[in-house]
Amino acid sequence: MIKSLAVYIVSFSVLFLIIHFSQDYIFSQVNSPVRFSLWDTNMFFAVASLMICVHFQFFSLIKSLETQLGFIYLPTLFIKGVLFYVAFKDSVFNIEVLNTTEELNILIPLLLFLVLEVFFVVKIISRMGFKY
């Protein structure tokens, strides 16, 4: 279990660093300003996805929750969206119109962290022996 948690932490940290420094490099080349903190939004996506994976690892140890893990995962995207709105309503959602660059710099990290999150959640659920 400790090995799994370490893999989650390292994976999300590496993905965070790749995304963030890629964005920094691209913006230094393009000179296109972003009106919110990319560090904060990327950190939110990384930590939220990491927390979901860690919680699922712990939930998988509870025998009574084994058959419910898939159903428990369903509302996490909605909850993550609500928490994102609450955390960034003054910085991101206060901007009347986001330009395409800003939209992509929210959407792409969201999707990349979501893919990694789903990968780990599927591994947890499939390790429990469920057939799809």
Residues of the chain under the 50 pLDDT cut: 132
What pLDDT sits at residue 129?
Answer: 66
Collapsed DSSP state (helix, strand, coil) of residue 83: helix
Give the per-residue SS3 of 16-80. HHHHHHHHHHHHHHHCCCCCCCHHHHHHHHHHHHHHHHHHHHHHCCCHHHHHHHHHHHCCHHHHH
What pLDDT sits at residue 94?
Answer: 82
Assess contact for 105 and 38: CB atoms under 8 A: yes
Neighbouring CB atoms inside 10 A of 93's CB total: 14
What pLDDT sits at residue 116?
Answer: 97
- The model's pTM is 0.89
Q: Which residue type sits at 125? A: I
Assess contact for 108 and 56: CB atoms under 8 A: no
What pLDDT sits at residue 118?
Answer: 95
**C-alpha span between 45 and 63 (Å, rounded):** 29
What pLDDT sits at residue 130?
Answer: 56
What pLDDT sits at residue 29?
Answer: 84
